[in-house]
Structure 1
Amino acid sequence: MVMWVFGYGSLIWKAGFPYDDRLVGFIKDHRRVFDQGSTDHRGTPEFPGRTVTLESAAGEVCWGAAYRISDEKDKRTAITDPAAITPAVSGVMVYIGSPDKKINPNYLGPAPLEDIARQIVLAEGPSGPNRDYLFQLEKALLQIGCEDKHVKDLADEVRRLLSERKLKGEEV
């Protein structure tokens, strides 16, 4: 059975699985937030990194990429043209990190932008520094023609903190 998976984080630039087709688009009424902890890729259990998940947000859209593969799970609708009345693809599987700590112990929840940026500057895991994830996401979004204000503001704050650390002679 054919299935579409929608990626709004690292899947935009690195699917990590075979797929038949890739379609740039968005899902409605959701926004990307850095509320998901990463203890296995961009951080450690002792110092988790921050990666994106989605939260409901009426009227907002979250751009990403949908990949056509086989299987069937949680479904959303992906749209490629903001003026479209009907979706380009329906039944899209989307991973959303649950805010319930019993189900998702790595959920970190919201925090002030400055606190998230400090955590991203310091976190590093087996897949590399957490800031690389943020900068790759910013770059991948720009490549698909999307500027996500939250991602841009966070990346700017991380760059500012890294510059400060460099000026102080700290390792960056």
Structure 2
Amino acid sequence: MDTEEFWVFGYGSLMWNPGFEIEDSQPARLHGFRRSLCVRSWVHRGTPEEPGLVLGLDRGGSCRGMAFRVAPQRWHAVLDYLRERELVTHVYKERTLPVTLAGGVRKPALAYVIDRAHHQYAGALTVEDAAATVSTARGKSGPNAEYVANTLAHLREMGIRDHWLEEVGRSVERLMNGG
């Protein structure tokens, strides 16, 4: 971790709901990882009998998201908060990875990537398989379809396109409307 600055990369709900105080936020791109519905959710968006799917950073491609700079006096508190939020079941691994900020500036940022060996890892799903799961799953935080629609709405508001996730969203709508 850079001793001068502490950046956090968000690719899902962390982008619009970081949950911690930030000094600066900038659009950022992480190369080598992509946003993916690759995490089985057994509580918030599914059940053990019918798991839902939530986002993870999986290998391959690149991902547009947001980078947040945290003030030095808050580093430890933010790290504790993020570990409590992201490492509940240890499906994610904490990594410091280079992100590219606006203007091409590269900074090391804390990111949470999927642990492919974890039993919650769903693998690289087709649009059809992801949509079939999302359209029927429901957990204590509501329907899985609502999670995907909300994520897509926030991404659109931020000017971020995720073509694969958008196709999943369209397929979920078709399935839920009987088509």
Q: TM-score range by the shorter chain?
A: 0.7 to 0.9
1:128 corresponds to: 142
**Is the CA contact 1:44–1:125 (under 8 Å) kept in the aligned structure 2?**
yes
User: Whole-Å Cα distance in 1 between the matches of residues 17 and 51 of structure 2?
Assistant: 21
1:80 to 101, 121, 126: 101
Deviations 1:143-171 (A, max 9, x none): 22111111111111011111117xxxxxx
Q: Name the one with the larger helix percent.
A: 2
User: Whole-Å Cα distance in 1 between the matches of residues 23 and 142 of structure 2?
Assistant: 28
Aligned length: 156
Within 5 A, what are the aligned runs for 1:15-94?
15-57=18-60, 60-69=61-70, 70-71=75-76, 74-81=95-102, 84=104, 86-87=105-106, 90-94=107-111
Q: Secondary structure of the residue that 1:52 maps to in structure 2?
A: strand
Distance 1:38 1:17, change over 3 A: farther
Identity between Structure 1 and Structure 2 (%): 30
Q: How far 1:99 sits from its partner (Å)?
A: 0.9
Gaps of 5+ in 2: 80-93
TM-score by length of 2: 0.77
Question: Which is further off, 6-15 or 118-127?
Answer: 6-15
2:153 to 123, 139, 143: 139
Gaps of 5+ in 1: 166-172
